[in-house]
């Protein structure tokens, strides 16, 4: 199908250097279009709308980013025009919102309505997803909000070429075609790789709250501040010689016998109270914060690597997951990583002239002559113009094999963790900045008397100034 390129609504296809045309689209990355144009057209402007069609199918939508005018040998000029896709719009707007007990889909839709609708972004295929117990977006870009929702839920988000926004369960993002021995594909290659391979996964998560614990301290006639082992998470119970004391929040409450602050390891005595001596014992019962660090092993994968490579066969990886605030959830996350990466992955690449394949789609593959069968996740699509007489574009597709047990569908279902709730920045406080303008009329008066009898009359001099 023929290529059509429009900039600012004007068809510039005839000025496109076809051998330089290139679209790079990869999963979890922004897609980029590279254009080189003859100078027979007007110089593209930063931010102009760019649309690319393969026949009737819109395959790219975005904006001119940093156009450059280049002088060639012989004095001719051309335009080098890098183009960013519509996702760039989500970097420009900042979100200040708090959501409680809402589905991820509701939050996604609300952010579009409040922050992106005026930029031309519309709500597309938006699924509900799990419930977010509390989400505090404290002046962060829209793109970061969407990334965090995606990371927690396992859903995927995308701003399409037509500026519609989708948020969906990855298992529903299925390629429009399947691949088998009779498919119109070329240059098929299978590569087996250890990239990202691991069979022991560490997860450094956020902080969990301990079970109640009790610590005791002896007085010394001078000390009023005592230090516990963990940062205090919740209001403690304090006794002195077995007698319960009144407890308040430090620098917030007064008139209490003892004070504490969340996240601090210390608690201290009010200075109006008698200092504890060596015969006194203060006892605190509290729940504390502790950092979560879990490790999961795939022993069969370790044994398999050991049988081939010798040594221990262990491949270790550490990942940060600060949003996870329970040990069980961190372990589930670690096991999910092993299900995906504790195997030598198979990477399928091929070329096709058929449009419609996109990163993130699940592609059904049945190529028995290559020993391949199952679901593959499309990770990258590169679109070029090979200069065919019929104008057909070439799509170079890279796809990854599914997890070791099951398929990509079951992997994503496990990530979603249906029935669980999630929290984004539970303890942050959002302060809204409100700008306003008002008009104030200020006046003053002064009476002046003449020193001569002839002009003995008063003057009222009034001056006004306006403050906006």
User: What mean pLDDT comes out for the span 159-183?
Assistant: 89
> pLDDT tens, 189-203?
999 888 889 999 999
- How many Å from the N-terminal Cα to the C-terminal Cα in the chain? 60
| Residue-averaged pLDDT of the chain | 85
Q: Are 266 and 233 in contact (CB under 8 A)?
A: no
Which of the two residues, 369 and 417, has the higher pLDDT score? 369
* Residue 321 phi, psi (nearest 5): -145, 70
- Rounded Cα gap, residues 268 and 404, in angstroms: 54
Neighbours of 244 (CB within 10 A): 11
Where in the chain are the domains? 3-88, 178-191+298-422, 211-287
Confidence of residue 423 (pLDDT cuts 50, 70, 90): low
> In the prediction, which pLDDT does 50 show?
94
Predicted confidence at residue 357, as pLDDT, reads 92
Number of C-beta neighbours around residue 213 at 10 A: 14
Residue 464 pLDDT: 36
Q: H or E stretch including 397?
A: strand 394-401
Across the range 75-103, mean pLDDT stands at 91
Q: How far apart are CA 140 and CA 191, in angstroms?
A: 40
Average pLDDT over residues 85-91: 93
Cβ–Cβ under 8 Å, residues 4 and 357: no
| Cα separation, 365 vs 362, whole angstroms | 9
The per-residue pLDDT for range 137-151, each reduced to its tens digit, is 888 999 999 988 887
pLDDT band at residue 418, thresholds of 50, 70 and 90? Answer: very low
pLDDT at residue 71, as a whole number: 86
pLDDT score at 86: 93
Position with higher pLDDT, 407 vs 62: 62
φ/ψ bin of 142: left (φ > 0), alpha (ψ from -120 to 50), beta (otherwise): alpha
DSSP 120: T
Confidence class of residue 426 from pLDDT cuts 50, 70 and 90? low
pLDDT of residue 375: 87
pTM of the model: 0.65
Please provide the CATH number assigned to the domain covering 3-88.
2.30.300.10
CA distances from 436 to 115, 430, 439, 468 (A): 20, 19, 10, 10
Q: Which residues pair with 295 in a beta bridge?
A: 202
SS3 at position 392: coil
3-state secondary structure of 263: coil
Contact predicate 115/91, CB 8 Å: no
Confidence of residue 105 (pLDDT cuts 50, 70, 90): very high
Contacts (Cβ under 8 Å, ≥6 apart) of 246:
255, 256, 257, 258
**Sorting pLDDT into bands at 50, 70 and 90, what band is 1?**
low
Structure tokens at 313: 């066969």
Query: What is the rounded average pLDDT of the residues 110-133?
Result: 93
């Amino acid at each position: 199908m023929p290529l059509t390129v429009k900039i600012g609504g004007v068809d510039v296809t005839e000025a496109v250097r076809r051998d330089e045309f290139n679209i790079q689209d990869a999963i979890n990355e922004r897609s980029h279009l590279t254009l080189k144009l003859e100078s027979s057209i007007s110089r593209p402007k930063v931010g102009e709308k760019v649309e690319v069609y393969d026949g009737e199918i819109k395959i790219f939508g975005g904006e001119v980013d940093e156009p450059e005018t280049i002088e060639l040998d012989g004095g001719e000029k051309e335009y080098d025009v890098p183009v960013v896709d519509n996702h760039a719009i989500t970097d420009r707007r900042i979100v200040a919102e708090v959501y409680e007990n809402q589905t991820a889909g509701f939050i996604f839709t609300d952010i579009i309505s409040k922050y992106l609708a005026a930029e031309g972004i519309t709500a597309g295929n938006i699924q509900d997803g799990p419930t977010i117990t509390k989400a505090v977006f404290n002046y962060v870009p829209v793109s970061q909000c969407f990334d965090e929702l995606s990371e927690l839920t396992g859903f995927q988000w995308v701003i399409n070429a037509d500026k519609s926004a989708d948020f969906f369960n990855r298992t529903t993002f299925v390629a429009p075609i399947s691949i088998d021995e009779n498919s119109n594909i070329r240059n098929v290659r299978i590569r087996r790789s250890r990239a990202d391979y691991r069979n022991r996964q560490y997860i450094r998560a956020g902080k969990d709250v301990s079970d109640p614990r009790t610590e005791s301290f002896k007085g010394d006639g001078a000390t009023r501040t005592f230090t516990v082992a963990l940062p205090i998470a919740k209001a403690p119970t304090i006794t002195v010689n077995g007698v319960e004391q009144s407890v308040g929040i430090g620098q917030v409450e007064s008139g209490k016998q003892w004070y504490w602050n969340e996240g601090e390891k210390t608690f201290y005595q009010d200075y109006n109270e008698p200092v504890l001596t060596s015969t006194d014992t203060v006892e605190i019962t509290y729940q504390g914060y502790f950092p979560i660090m879990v490790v999961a092993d795939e022993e069969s994968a370790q044994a398999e690597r050991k049988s081939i490579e010798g040594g221990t066969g262990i491949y270790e990886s550490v990942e940060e997951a600060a949003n996870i605030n329970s040990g069980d959830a961190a372990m589930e996350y670690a096991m999910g990583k092993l299900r995906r990466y504790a195997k030598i992955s198979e990477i399928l690449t091929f070329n096709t002239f058929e449009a419609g394949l996109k990163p993130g789609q699940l592609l059904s593959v049945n190529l028995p002559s290559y020993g391949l069968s199952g679901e593959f996740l499309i990770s990258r699509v590169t679109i070029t113009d090979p200069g065919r007489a019929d104008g057909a574009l070439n799509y170079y597709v890279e796809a990854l094999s599914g997890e070791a047990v099951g398929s990509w569908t079951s992997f994503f279902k496990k990530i979603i963790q249906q029935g669980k709730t999630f929290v984004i920045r539970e303890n942050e406080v959002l302060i809204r900045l409100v700008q306003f303008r008002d008009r104030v009329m200020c006046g003053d008066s002064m009476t002046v008397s003449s020193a001569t009898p002839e002009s003995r009359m008063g003057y009222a001099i009034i001056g006004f100034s306006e403050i906006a």
